[in-house]
Chain A
Amino acid sequence: MMRRFFLIAIPYAWLLALFLVPFAIVLKISLSDYAVSIPPYVPQFDWAEGIGTFIAQLDFENFIWLTEDDLYWKAYLSSLKIALISTFLTLLAGYPIAYGMARAPDEWRPTLMMLVILPFWTSFLIRVYAWMGILSNEGFLNQFLLWTGVISEPLTILNTNSAVYIGVIYTYLPFMILPIYSALERLDGSLIEAAEDLGCSRLSAFWLVTVPLSKNGIIAGSFLVFIPVLGEFVIPSLLGGSDTLMIGKVLWEEFFSNRDWPVASAVAVVLLLLLIIPIVLFQRNQQKQQEAEQ
Chain B
Amino acid sequence: MTLKKLTMTAAVALGTAAVASAEEVRVYNWSDYIDESLLEKFEAETGIDLIYDVFDSNELLETKMLAGGSGYDVVVPTGTFLQRQIAAGAFQKLDMSKLPNHENMWDVVSSRTEQYDPGNAYSINYMWGTTGIGVNVPKVKEILGEDAPIDSLELVFNPENMEKLSACGVHFLDAPAEMIPAALKFIGEDPNSHDPDVIAKAEEVFMPVRPYIQKFHSSEYINALANGDICVAVGWSGDILQARDRAAEADNGVEIAYHAPVEGAQMWFDQMAIPVDAPNPDGAHKFLNFIMDPENMAAASNYVYYANGNKASQEHLAEDVIGDPAIYPDEATLNNLYTTTPYPPKVQRVVTRLWTKIKSGT
Contacts and interface: CB of A to CB of B under 8 A. Distances in A.
Interface of A: 34, 36-40, 69-71, 74-75, 159, 242-245, 250, 253, 255-260
Given A37-B89, A38-B66, 11 more contacts: A36-B88, A37-B88, A39-B67, A70-B362, A71-B362, A243-B361, A244-B360, A258-B348, A258-B352, A259-B59, A260-B345
Contacts of B67: 38-39
Given A38-B66, A69-B353, A71-B356, A245 B90 contact: no
Contact of B68 (A38, A70, A259): A38
B176 interface: yes
Interface string B68-105: 10000000000000001001111000000000000000
B33 interface: no
Contacts of B328: none
Closest 10 CB pairs of A and B: A242-B359, A40-B66, A257-B352, A258-B352, A36-B88, A256-B59, A38-B68, A256-B63, A257-B59, A36-B87
B258 to A, nearest CB: 25
A75 B57 CA distance: 24
Interface string B200-226: 000000000000000110000000000
A141 to B, nearest CB: 18
B349 interface: yes
Interface of B: 57, 59-60, 62-63, 65-68, 84, 87-90, 176, 215-216, 276, 345, 348-349, 352-353, 355-357, 359-362
- Please classify the interface of chain B as helix (H, G, I), strand (E, B), loop, or mixed, using the class held by over half of its residues: helix
Given A255-B63, A257-B176, A36 B361 contact: no
Nearest to B62: A259
A38 B69 CA distance: 10
A245 B362 CA distance: 8
Given A38-B68, A39-B67, A256 B88 contact: no
23 contacts: A36-B84, A36-B87, A36-B88, A36-B345, A37-B66, A39-B67, A40-B88, A71-B353, A71-B357, A71-B362, A75-B362, A159-B215, A242-B216, A243-B361, A245-B360, A245-B362, A250-B356, A255-B63, A256-B63, A257-B59, A257-B355, A259-B59, A259-B63
Contacts of B276: 38
Contacts of A40: 66, 88
A9 to B, nearest CB: 28
A154 to B, nearest CB: 13
Given A40-B66, A242-B359, A256-B63, A34 B353 contact: no
B352 to A, nearest CB: 5
A159 B213 CA distance: 13
Contacts of B60: 256
Contacts of B353: 69, 71
A72 B100 CA distance: 52
Given A34-B345, A69-B353, A39 B360 contact: no
Contacts of A38: 65-68, 88-90, 276
A244 to B, nearest CB: 8
Given A38-B90, A253-B356, A74 B362 contact: yes
A258 B57 CA distance: 13
B200 to A, nearest CB: 14
Of the candidates B57, B67, B360, the one having the most CB atoms from chain A within 10 angstroms of its own CB is B360
A260 B215 contact: no
A162 B276 CA distance: 45
Contacts of B360: 242-245
Of the candidates B60, B67, B216, the one having the most CB atoms from chain A within 10 angstroms of its own CB is B67
Contacts of B361: 243
A289 B349 CA distance: 48
A255 B215 CA distance: 22
Nearest to A74: B362
B245 to A, nearest CB: 24
Contacts of A159: 215
B160 to A, nearest CB: 22
Contacts of A258: 348-349, 352
A260 B349 contact: yes
Contacts of B89: 37-38
A254 to B, nearest CB: 8
Contacts of A250: 356
